Amino acid sequence: MRYISSFLILSVFFSNVQAQLSKRTWLLGGTANLSATRDSYSSTISTSATDALNIRVLPGIGYFLADKFSVGFRLGYTKFKAEGVGPSGLSTNVNRLDFGPFTRYYFLNTDKPFNVLADVGYQYGSYWFRPSRGSRHTFSASTGMVTFFNSSVALEMLVGYYIQSERIRDPERTVIEQRGLQMSIGFQFHLEK
């Protein structure tokens, strides 16, 4: 990790690149999220709370409508497996599929090899855990730094907050609420037409 940090710092100070943050540029890439959450479960028969650690991968595509402002679409897939969860000791195998829009804005001038950005997104998704199914809604807001290795390739590191709600269509009408901090790291490719 120390070598990666050193490389990033040196690349910021010794590179002379201009980011492609101009209108009509495509944004292609994705992030991996690490999130620490407080989960609360409620149904007609019980309630409980747990602390959780989740990892998600979110590929996306975007388009710069104006200089330094892009909109786009993200997909997400999460698979969660656990053994001996809950008082009954049952195993868990849950699948989640999400999709939705995002917007982002870059704050600094494009002549710098780094920039600061803000990213806001919403995702609608489905939840399935045999035999139950459900829906989920996720809202996230993040900010962070992006480092450009050249005019097209960037590494971004973001930190933010998210709120998520899952409603499961089962006999207990289970509702799962999550909110917490998340850290993301990912690569973005800025491609001109």
Run of H or E including 6: helix 2-14
Q: Which CATH architecture has domain 2-192?
A: Beta Barrel (2.40)
Q: Give pLDDT, residue 172.
A: 80
In the chain, what's the furthest Cα-to-Cα distance?
61
Which is more confident, 107 or 31? 107
Between 117 and 82, residue with greater pLDDT: 117
Among 136, 132, 21, 130, smallest CA distance to 78 is for 136
β-bridge mates for residue 102, sequence order: 72, 121
Long-range contacts of 164-169 (CB under 8 A, 24+ apart): 164/136, 164/137, 164/138, 164/139, 165/136, 165/137, 166/127, 166/134, 166/135, 166/136, 167/134, 167/135, 167/136, 168/127, 168/129, 168/132, 168/133, 168/134, 169/132, 169/133, 169/134
The predicted pLDDT at position 10 comes to 45
Question: What does the pLDDT average to over 132-150?
Answer: 92
